[in-house]
Amino acid sequence: MIYTTQMDAAKKGIITAQMLTVAQKETMDPENLRSLVAAGKVAIPANKNHKNLDSEGVGQGLSTKINVNLGVSKDCYDIDLELAKVRKAIELKTTAIMDLSCFGKTQEFRRKLIEMSPVMIGTVPMYDAVGMLDKDLKDITVDEFFSVVEKHAEDGVDFMTIHCGMNRATAERVKNNKRLTNIVSRGGSLLFAWMELNNQENPFYEYYDRLLDICEKFDVTLSLGDACRPGSLNDSTDPAQIEELITLGELTKRAWARNVQVMIEGPGHMSLNEIAANVLLEKKLCHGAPFYVLGPIVTDIAPGYDHITSAIGGAIAASNGADFLCFVTPAEHLRLPNLDDMKEGIIAARIAAHAADIAKGIPGARKWDNEMSAARADVDFTRMISLAIDPEKARRYREESQPECEDTCTMCGKMCPMKNMKKILNGEDLSIV
């Protein structure tokens, strides 16, 4: 039977090769997964032209996925460095990579990225439109915007962030409800500026069916961007954010009617006590579509440590039902991340995702923790290091501070409770002096 997209296949009762891959990874019944894809509650971003993709699913009942942002900019134009980041991100077990390139030979980098990457690839075509077309923002035409989207789809991009929900009505909400940090979404701010400069509607909202034509043709998952995500605690859950979310829910149903898979993007900066409610709002207003969050960053005061503020918010969001976490690095708000920043961000996001998976009862999530605990009870440092989420760092810390006795560490030494309890329970003598 012929099908156009993963969602189209699922609706027709077809279990695709991609669904089988995801079902095996998630230890889920393939038929159950197919039904979730058909209902839009799981997305499997898998562009027909991404030939070496090792498919992943995002959504209800699946493990929490993480995304890494990278790409070249005018101030830091080093393709080799960005490709090194790609290799490191894959080594560190990211689930997805978003290419946010906005300057220079963007297509050359994007094609290399897709060719070498088995993980799903996302982009924000709005960035590339400004960088690639080399025109003033005001002068970019509607046809040019869509030509960039189609080029990304042809190249094999699996999901695209497009800010379709910020129409002129939502833009008025922004202007009439003063924010502390205005619009902090880069793509959203560019679209807002284009709309104001040209006195026109958002082209991706006005010509949404044209966008769906492209997504359906290549099976691109539409990641509906949150142009009005809060950039400060002060601006969270305000009228502009909620109005845009309502619009995204309407656009989700239109996409599903065309068999186009959808993810919904979410905040942003937000205090701890608002996170669960925001996840609930997204799931209600957007009909259970997978939720992709940046952070949320739970305090505004920690530049240099926003991988931590983000991991705190991400763990809470995912444990309450968010499905996909976008990593945040220590360089957030300060500069383009380097390799070390990227590693810190990935590990923090993976910890948040894993902690949430335990809370959600994802099959197999707790098994890893139990194995680590058993290694600790056995005072088996070799095994502990091999099980660590970052074995390289765990090994370095162990080697930097050697204890008198090899089966202890320099924190407790001979008073190690694990070692001593093991001896006492085995009926052995205990010598601490």
Do 236 and 291 lie in one domain? The reply is yes
Residues 6+ apart with CB under 8 A from 229: 184, 185, 188, 241, 265, 266, 267, 268, 294
Asked if residue 287 belongs to a known ligand binding site, the reply is no
126 within a domain of the structure (yes/no): yes
Do 339 and 373 lie in one domain? The reply is no
Specify the CATH number for the domain of residue 219.
3.20.20.540
| pLDDT value of residue 353 | 98
Asked if residue 333 belongs to a known ligand binding site, the reply is yes
CA distance linking residue 45 with residue 219, whole number of Å: 8
Q: Is the pLDDT of residue 131 over 90?
A: no
Average pLDDT for 56-76 = 93
In the block, tokens 């095994």 appear at: 383
350 within a domain of the structure (yes/no): yes
Asked if residue 198 belongs to a known ligand binding site, the reply is no
In the block, tokens 């952070």 appear at: 295
Asked if residue 1 belongs to a known ligand binding site, the reply is no
Task: Give the DSSP letter of residue 330.
Answer: T
Asked if residue 420 belongs to a known ligand binding site, the reply is no
| pLDDT value of residue 256 | 98
Asked if residue 269 belongs to a known ligand binding site, the reply is yes
Do 74 and 205 lie in one domain? The reply is yes
Alpha helices in 16-124 (DSSP H): 17-26, 30-38, 79-91, 106-116
Do 325 and 419 lie in one domain? The reply is no
> Angle CA(153)–CA(170)–CA(60) in degrees, nearest 5?
55
Q: Which pLDDT band, with edges at 50, 70 and 90, does 408 fall under? A: confident
Range in 127-131, 144-148, 255-259, 267-271 the model is least confident about: 127-131
Asked if residue 409 belongs to a known ligand binding site, the reply is yes
Q: Is 104 exposed, middle or buried (0-12, 13-18, 19+ CB in 10 A)?
A: middle
Do 296 and 158 lie in one domain? The reply is yes
133 within a domain of the structure (yes/no): yes
> CB–CB of 430/424 below 8 Å?
yes
Residue-wise pLDDT tens digits, 276-295: 999 999 999 999 999 999 99
395 within a domain of the structure (yes/no): yes
Residues 6+ apart with CB under 8 A from 370: none
305 within a domain of the structure (yes/no): yes
> CB–CB of 323/58 below 8 Å?
yes
Do 350 and 394 lie in one domain? The reply is no
The length of the chain, given as a count of residues: 433
Asked if residue 163 belongs to a known ligand binding site, the reply is yes
Task: For residue 230, give the nearest of 288, 276, 179 by alpha carbon.
Answer: 179
pTM of the model: 0.95
Mean of pLDDT over the chain: 95
Positive or negative: CA dihedral 412, 418, 422, 425: positive
Do 355 and 374 lie in one domain? The reply is no
CA distance linking residue 241 with residue 152, whole number of Å: 28
Domain closes at, from 317, 339, 360: 360
Average pLDDT for 122-132 = 89
Domain closes at, from 360, 393, 415: 360
Instruction: Show the beta-strand stretches assigned E in 112-261.
Output: 120-123, 159-162, 221-224
8 within a domain of the structure (yes/no): no
430 within a domain of the structure (yes/no): no
- Per the structure, the complete domain to which residue 390 belongs is given by 365-425
| pLDDT value of residue 433 | 65
Do 296 and 353 lie in one domain? The reply is yes
Residue-wise pLDDT tens digits, 369-402: 999 999 999 989 999 999 999 999 999 999 999 8
CA distance linking residue 342 with residue 95, whole number of Å: 14
Average pLDDT for 81-108 = 92
Q: Report CA-CA distances (Å) from 71 to 44, 187, 342, 346.
A: 23, 15, 12, 16
Do 274 and 387 lie in one domain? The reply is no
Asked if residue 265 belongs to a known ligand binding site, the reply is yes
CA distance linking residue 78 with residue 387, whole number of Å: 34
> CB–CB of 322/360 below 8 Å?
no
Do 338 and 379 lie in one domain? The reply is no
282 within a domain of the structure (yes/no): yes
Asked if residue 416 belongs to a known ligand binding site, the reply is yes
Residues 6+ apart with CB under 8 A from 371: 387
Do 207 and 355 lie in one domain? The reply is yes
Asked if residue 132 belongs to a known ligand binding site, the reply is no
Number of domains in the chain: 2
Task: Give the DSSP letter of residue 433.
Answer: -
Asked if residue 289 belongs to a known ligand binding site, the reply is no
CA distance linking residue 199 with residue 183, whole number of Å: 18
Do 159 and 262 lie in one domain? The reply is yes
Average pLDDT for 92-116 = 92
Asked if residue 383 belongs to a known ligand binding site, the reply is no
Domain closes at, from 334, 360, 386: 360
Asked if residue 77 belongs to a known ligand binding site, the reply is no
